[in-house]
Amino acid sequence: MVKKIIIANWKMSPQSHKMAEDIVKNILFGIKKIKSKPEIVLCPPYVWLTDFSHKIKQVKWGAQDVFWESSGAYTGEISAGMLKSSGVTHIIVGHSERRGSLGETDDMINKKIRAALKAGLKTVLCVGERSRSEPDFYNFIKDELFADLAGVSGRLAKNLLIAYEPLWAIGTGDTPEPDDIFEMATYIRRNIFDILGKKAAYEIPVLYGGSVDAKNAAGFLRAKGVNGLLVGGASLVPNEFVGIVRASHGI
């Protein structure tokens, strides 16, 4: 049985260090007695991240973004090397909120992916269509994958993960059916085969994200081709997130 991975994307929350500490403490307490735990990655905002990543080892730690240069006069940016030296193991790149709200382009995402992979960080590339009513939504995913992974070698791809997050499902409560997720996971792997080769297509984990909660997590995890979950708002509610982790047991 392949070990699942559950990634918590806290986005720009919570609003105080004390609140962040309480969430972490309650999550750690809640998962303590769960047998056969999945790989758990918590991705708080930068301002809380390195405090936790230096001292808490029961879970892994991820960042919500990274800059593509290793050093230099780039005010406000943080490099992959800085994060790795702080105990961070994972990076989220290309989330739809950064693409949409912050104008992040495929070229920028591509440079971030290559920098993160080169630094040896597990790199989670987010892709997803705006709407299923658009006739070319499959091609939309294909275009994202080909642009974002341009120039990535098969050797570096061992640290790549793909998170399928349909934009219409993020924070809406609307979710695709398991068969639809399986179809998309298969389509993603087919494109990975064309971009990175057979080994990468077989081995790269594909995650699902979009309105994931404790009630629907098991259904998503049972969908064929899904290796884990990228969780948003529910990851800030300890009981809810622990329920998601528990849902992975035995799947």
Q: What is the pLDDT of residues 67-122, one digit of tens each?
A: 999 999 999 999 999 999 999 999 999 999 999 999 999 999 999 999 999 999 99
The two tokens of residue 124 are 């989670």
The two tokens of residue 70 are 């290793």
CATH fold of 5-30+37-247 reads TIM Barrel (3.20.20)
- 95 catalytic, yes or no? yes
Judged against a pLDDT cut of 80, whether residue 1 lies above it is answered with: no
Looking at 97, 104, 129, 165, which residue is catalytic? Answer: 165
H or E element that contains 83: helix 80-85
Q: Is 86 annotated as a binding residue?
A: no
H or E element that contains 239: helix 238-247
- 165 catalytic, yes or no? yes
Q: Is 10 annotated as a binding residue?
A: yes
pLDDT at position 242: 98
Closest of 41, 61, 68 to residue 152, by C-alpha:
68
Closest of 228, 89, 236 to residue 165, by C-alpha:
228
pLDDT tens digits for range 204-238: 999 999 999 999 999 999 999 999 999 999 999 99
Q: Is 103 annotated as a binding residue?
A: no
